[in-house]
Chains A and B, each alone.
Chain A
Amino acid sequence: MKNIVVAGNGMVGYKFCEKLLARHNEGLTDGGQFSLTVFGEEPRPAYDRVHLSAYFSGTSADALAMAPASWYADNGIDLRTSQCITHIDREAKTVTTHTGQVVAYDTLVMATGSAPFVPPVPGVQKDGIFVYRTIEDLEAMLAWGKRATRAVVIGGGLLGLEAAKAALDMGLETHVVEFAPRLMPRQLDEAGGAMLRQKMEELGIRIHLSKNTAEFEGYDRVTGLRFADGSVLEADMVVVSAGIKPRDELARQSGLAVGSRGGILVNDLLQTSDPDIYAIGECALHNSMIYGLVAPGYDMADIVATQLLTSTSAKTFAGFDMSTKLKLIGVDVASFGDPFCEQIPHRTIVWEDRLAGVYKRLNITEDGKHLLGGILVGDAEAYNMLLQTSKNRMVLPPTPEDMLLPTRKGDTSSAGAGVMALPDDATVCSCEAITKGTICTAVTEKDATNILAIKKCTKAGTGCGGCVPMLNDLITETLKAQGKIVRKVLCEHFDLTRQELYDLVRINGQKTYAEVLAQYGKGCGCEVCKPAVASVLASVHNQLVARQAVIQDTNDKYLANIQRGGTYSVMPRIAGGEITADKLIVLGEVAKKYDLYCKITGGQRIDLFGARVDQLPYIWEELTDAGFESGHAYGKSLRTVKSCVGSTWCRYGVQDSVAFAIELENRYKGLRSPHKLKSGVSGCARECAEAQSKDFGIIATEKGWNLYVCGNGGVTPRHAQLLATDIDRETCIRYLDRFLMFYVKTAEPLQRTAPWLDKLEGGMAYLKSVVIDDVLGMNGQFEQEMQHVIDTYQCEWKSVVDDEELRSQYRHFVNAGDTDETLAFVSNGRGQKQPAQW
């Protein structure tokens, strides 16, 4: 029995344990049996430091854990937390902890990691100055941050910008101070750093470059930073993130060889100067390099684990590619290969779009054949492909600049097919060192045909997740290569696309989910196909969704929007945003009676929050009695048609935008669609209704109306595109009927109009030819179907209010009249309520 002792339980220390067990289970056993003891100086087992900032947005410490404490016990690992090894006796081969525990080792693996480097600036010991490394550091920052207003982060590198995001999440005014003349000096060149700075400043983070902190001001609490140039920056909280220094003090004290600037010296086998002691991760100095990233640390962990289990010679560590891609506060940043090429003759291709905040640089060999490295800021979609191209020295196309240009809308073929050109031994997932060959084999031989199965089968994509898009491409392309047709089918229960199902239901007239499942599906259905079929049934027949509540998605099920804490919000229709004083009073009275939180929404409506499920029918009854109807805020259907005040009041208006908005909202209300639909009508070119950010938007002209389609706000804002110019009211409605019905019939589930148009072959030109020139010859049918929807409209709330059977479904318990006693509210400090913490 060999005693293996691990000093340090960070990410790499944990990965070593995981790899040791995995390799052992794979049959590497000729190294004999072993026992494993792990010492960690922190109170909790290893956690994911890379995603520490998630702790600020509410992720719990437990969720960050690499594995729960029980995992170690279940696998026979003796994990001792809050135990710091203070002495190694290399003669006796024992380690001693600060509490006096002594454990003998045959092999000692040092994974002591690194500590934040804190420059010796006068005043650095003052209260309010933090480092950013452990969960305890974050807890201290959070506690202090509650009383702080302005945070300054020292260090504009990777970790510093992560820390800045944390400060921003805490609601603090955030500044970043960097010694170098640009951000992320180790990864980015001047232009890339400038682009990142622009993006950071847009987000409200102020950047100070070429600043050398000379002193921290303040008596015992920090009040500001004084720089070497004499300038002062006030601050009541400081986070120092100026780099790392390897934790080599134990090694140093035990007489192991260390580098002059820190780090435990290791050879290619990762052995220290004592062959029974290994060092891995950020504490190891290999070939004059400290690797401050997770992927090389994991690679080292695997190499040592493999060596310890085999008597024959094993893999060695041959350095590691320091390419990185990350999302910093929502901004993609990547650098790969040799990003600067300061020593190598090369040619450079640069693409810069300051408006969109995108900077890309490629370094290619002088003969233009190979990619040496590069930098991506603002758009790193091509990262995986570029990284593989440079790593594998693949021959570049004759026009390498194509690799930098933004992919044209609707053109998704090129990147996808490109992955198949990679050699089989190309590493696709660098965290877990999984090659393209392994992925493709998993697809062809183990039937892992979706991302979840690939993760389970190969572990690829389970680390940083950066390779997931490429894994998806590999799955799709491998299946295609096998001659399997890749269609966007609904789910495992329906081997049909939404469009195919829509046509079948329209032709054959099924009315219920059970009929559709029996005819075209298998199994019991799921949370994906049930709402999708519900939407198709509603679009085709326009029946009440409440009659099939069990297949509706969360909000459609109760005709209201579920909110934190388990209550719902109620939003009546206020067409075009126009409302009388009397109706405003009704809303106020209802809100008061049921103690509802009131908020004006972005769609010119009033939302009433905090209604219990049993209160919903009573609230609707009062609202519908006063002439209100459902606003469909819960549905994948038309939400609002927003309007500006238009020519009736506005001195600039050229058409009556309010009247037209109300007419359109009342025309299309209740239309069920693949996703929500939003609209706006503006009375002049000033566009106060923001119609160009809507699924369909109309802007008044002197001669009539301009019709725009396929825009949206949200995560990926898109401007709507012009479909027709200077058309009259009737033509506009006719085009809209056709456009909407065409979308409803052909889109995928939960696909909004803009991505639908992207996928539509022929794009806008084709859409025009369908809607205006009727190339499909379908417009008569589209208009007829729309007329059916309009003619069969009924208020969904009123239908429930008037139906005792439907009404009876609105209660929390079916065997008791009680309400849910876990519902709890607190004051929001502004005279209204809010849900208690969730």
Chain B
Amino acid sequence: MVTEFETPETLSWHIAAPVSAFPADGGACVKIGERQIAVFNFSHTNEWYACQNMCPHKMQMILSRGLTGDQNGEPKVACPYHKKTFSLCTGENLNGDDYRIETYPVRVEAGMVYIGL
């Protein structure tokens, strides 16, 4: 089943913060409405990723403080608590667990970072 809000027509872009608010090759948390979104910047590949800030393992608002990196080229973040790692492209857990996270598109324009929700 295709849910409607996933179609590009209804995706709305929200201002997160200026590029300078995010550490190079690291993550930070932004608040959009009532939602906590983790935003990651891979300066190595000049890519940006966003996902839910909550780690589904222990339901902690923490993923933005996780170490980032890649597994065979797949960008990922590791939860600071128990090192559960998630793909920043698909949201899938990479340790073989059933957890998954929501990921969101990121756009950078004129020094400003936007998240598509």
B-binding residues in A (CB < 8 A): 63, 68, 452, 455-456, 492-493, 514, 517, 523-527, 529-531, 549-551, 553-554, 557-558, 562, 564-566, 809, 812-816, 818, 820, 822, 838
Q: Is the CB of A815 within 8 A of B21?
A: yes
By a CB distance below 8 angstroms, the chain A residues around B98 are 63, 68
By a CB distance below 8 angstroms, the chain A residues around B25 are 514, 524, 550
Q: Is the CB of B31 within 8 A of A815?
A: yes
A-B contact pairs, 6 of them (CB 8 A): A492-B71, A514-B25, A525-B68, A527-B83, A550-B24, A812-B29
Min distance, Cβ A445 to any Cβ of chain B, angstroms = 19
Min distance, Cβ B58 to any Cβ of chain A, angstroms = 5
Min distance, Cβ A73 to any Cβ of chain B, angstroms = 13
- Per-residue CB contact flags for chain B residues 45-85 toward chain A (1 = under 8 Å, else 0) read 10000000000001111100111111111011010110101
Min distance, Cβ A664 to any Cβ of chain B, angstroms = 31
CA distance A456 to B96 in the complex (A): 9
By a CB distance below 8 angstroms, the chain A residues around B17 are 814-815
Residues A551 and B72 in contact in the complex (CB < 8 Å), given A812-B29, A815-B31: no
By a CB distance below 8 angstroms, the chain A residues around B75 are 524
Q: Is the CB of A551 within 8 A of B28?
A: no
Q: Is the CB of A527 within 8 A of B59?
A: no
Q: Is the CB of A550 within 8 A of B26?
A: yes
Q: Is the CB of A554 within 8 A of B69?
A: no
Q: Is the CB of B30 within 8 A of A815?
A: yes
A-binding residues in B (CB < 8 A): 15-17, 21-31, 36, 42, 44-45, 58-62, 65-73, 75-76, 78, 80-81, 83, 85, 95-96, 98
By a CB distance below 8 angstroms, the chain A residues around B21 are 814-815
Min distance, Cβ B55 to any Cβ of chain A, angstroms = 10
Q: Is the CB of A524 within 8 A of B70?
A: yes
By a CB distance below 8 angstroms, the chain B residues around A815 are 15-17, 21, 30-31
Q: Is the CB of A566 within 8 A of B60?
A: yes
Q: Is the CB of B78 within 8 A of A526?
A: yes
- Other than the known A514-B44, A529-B69, what 8 A-B pairs have Cβ atoms closer than 8 Å? A68-B98, A452-B96, A527-B85, A550-B23, A550-B24, A562-B81, A566-B60, A815-B21
CA distance A537 to B78 in the complex (A): 21
Q: Is the CB of A531 within 8 A of B30?
A: no
Min distance, Cβ A731 to any Cβ of chain B, angstroms = 42
Q: Is the CB of B96 within 8 A of A524?
A: no
Min distance, Cβ B71 to any Cβ of chain A, angstroms = 7
Min distance, Cβ A658 to any Cβ of chain B, angstroms = 36
CA distance A492 to B72 in the complex (A): 8
Min distance, Cβ A567 to any Cβ of chain B, angstroms = 10
Residues A553 and B67 in contact in the complex (CB < 8 Å), given A565-B60, A815-B17: yes
By a CB distance below 8 angstroms, the chain B residues around A822 are 36, 61
- Of all A-B residue pairs in the complex, the 3 with the closest CB atoms, nearest first, are A550-B26, A526-B69, A527-B78
CA distance A63 to B99 in the complex (A): 10
Min distance, Cβ A140 to any Cβ of chain B, angstroms = 26
Q: Is the CB of B67 within 8 A of A523?
A: no
Residues A523 and B30 in contact in the complex (CB < 8 Å), given A814-B17, A814-B22: no
Q: Is the CB of A526 within 8 A of B31?
A: no
By a CB distance below 8 angstroms, the chain B residues around A838 are 58-60
Min distance, Cβ A558 to any Cβ of chain B, angstroms = 8
Residues A549 and B23 in contact in the complex (CB < 8 Å), given A524-B75, A526-B67, A814-B29: yes
Residues A813 and B31 in contact in the complex (CB < 8 Å), given A452-B96, A523-B73, A820-B36: yes
Residues A524 and B29 in contact in the complex (CB < 8 Å), given A562-B81, A815-B16: no
Min distance, Cβ B114 to any Cβ of chain A, angstroms = 12
Q: Is the CB of A566 within 8 A of B61?
A: yes
CA distance A816 to B28 in the complex (A): 12
By a CB distance below 8 angstroms, the chain A residues around B42 are 524
By a CB distance below 8 angstroms, the chain A residues around B72 are 492
Q: Is the CB of B45 within 8 A of A524?
A: yes
CA distance A455 to B96 in the complex (A): 10
Q: Is the CB of B62 within 8 A of A566?
A: yes
CA distance A531 to B80 in the complex (A): 12
Q: Is the CB of A530 within 8 A of B67?
A: yes
Q: Is the CB of A814 within 8 A of B67?
A: no
| Of A493, A517, A564, A812, most B-chain CB atoms within 10 Å | A812
Residue among A493, A526, A820 making CB contact with B76, cutoff 8 Å: A526
Min distance, Cβ B53 to any Cβ of chain A, angstroms = 9
Min distance, Cβ B18 to any Cβ of chain A, angstroms = 9
CA distance A601 to B53 in the complex (A): 31
- The closest CB in chain B to the CB of A491 belongs to B69
Min distance, Cβ A609 to any Cβ of chain B, angstroms = 16
Residue among B27, B36, B80 making CB contact with A554, cutoff 8 Å: B80
Residues A531 and B67 in contact in the complex (CB < 8 Å), given A549-B23, A566-B62: yes
CA distance A437 to B96 in the complex (A): 24
CA distance A527 to B85 in the complex (A): 9
Min distance, Cβ A517 to any Cβ of chain B, angstroms = 8
- The closest CB in chain A to the CB of B25 belongs to A550
CA distance A381 to B23 in the complex (A): 46
By a CB distance below 8 angstroms, the chain A residues around B24 are 550
CA distance A562 to B80 in the complex (A): 9
| Of A456, A554, A809, most B-chain CB atoms within 10 Å | A554
Residues A813 and B67 in contact in the complex (CB < 8 Å), given A456-B96, A562-B80: no
CA distance A453 to B22 in the complex (A): 35
By a CB distance below 8 angstroms, the chain A residues around B65 are 554, 557-558
Min distance, Cβ B48 to any Cβ of chain A, angstroms = 13
By a CB distance below 8 angstroms, the chain B residues around A530 are 67, 69
Q: Is the CB of A813 within 8 A of B70?
A: no
Q: Is the CB of B60 within 8 A of A526?
A: no
Residues A814 and B61 in contact in the complex (CB < 8 Å), given A531-B67, A550-B24: no
By a CB distance below 8 angstroms, the chain A residues around B15 are 815
Residue among B62, B66, B70, B96 making CB contact with A523, cutoff 8 Å: B70
- The closest CB in chain A to the CB of B76 belongs to A526
Min distance, Cβ A595 to any Cβ of chain B, angstroms = 20
Q: Is the CB of A527 within 8 A of B67?
A: yes
Min distance, Cβ B15 to any Cβ of chain A, angstroms = 8
Q: Is the CB of A813 within 8 A of B29?
A: yes
CA distance A558 to B67 in the complex (A): 13
CA distance A550 to B23 in the complex (A): 7
By a CB distance below 8 angstroms, the chain A residues around B62 are 562, 566
CA distance A813 to B75 in the complex (A): 23
CA distance A36 to B36 in the complex (A): 43
CA distance A455 to B97 in the complex (A): 13
Min distance, Cβ A62 to any Cβ of chain B, angstroms = 8
Min distance, Cβ A66 to any Cβ of chain B, angstroms = 12
By a CB distance below 8 angstroms, the chain B residues around A492 are 71-72
By a CB distance below 8 angstroms, the chain A residues around B45 are 524
Q: Is the CB of A554 within 8 A of B81?
A: yes
Q: Is the CB of A526 within 8 A of B70?
A: yes
By a CB distance below 8 angstroms, the chain A residues around B28 are 814
- The closest CB in chain B to the CB of A813 belongs to B31
CA distance A545 to B16 in the complex (A): 28
By a CB distance below 8 angstroms, the chain B residues around A558 are 65
- The closest CB in chain A to the CB of B22 belongs to A814
By a CB distance below 8 angstroms, the chain B residues around A514 are 25, 44
CA distance A434 to B17 in the complex (A): 53
Q: Is the CB of A527 within 8 A of B66?
A: yes
- The closest CB in chain A to the CB of B41 belongs to A550
Min distance, Cβ A463 to any Cβ of chain B, angstroms = 14
Min distance, Cβ A64 to any Cβ of chain B, angstroms = 12
Q: Is the CB of B69 within 8 A of A527?
A: yes
- The closest CB in chain B to the CB of A455 belongs to B96
CA distance A327 to B36 in the complex (A): 41
Residues A809 and B23 in contact in the complex (CB < 8 Å), given A818-B31, A822-B61: yes
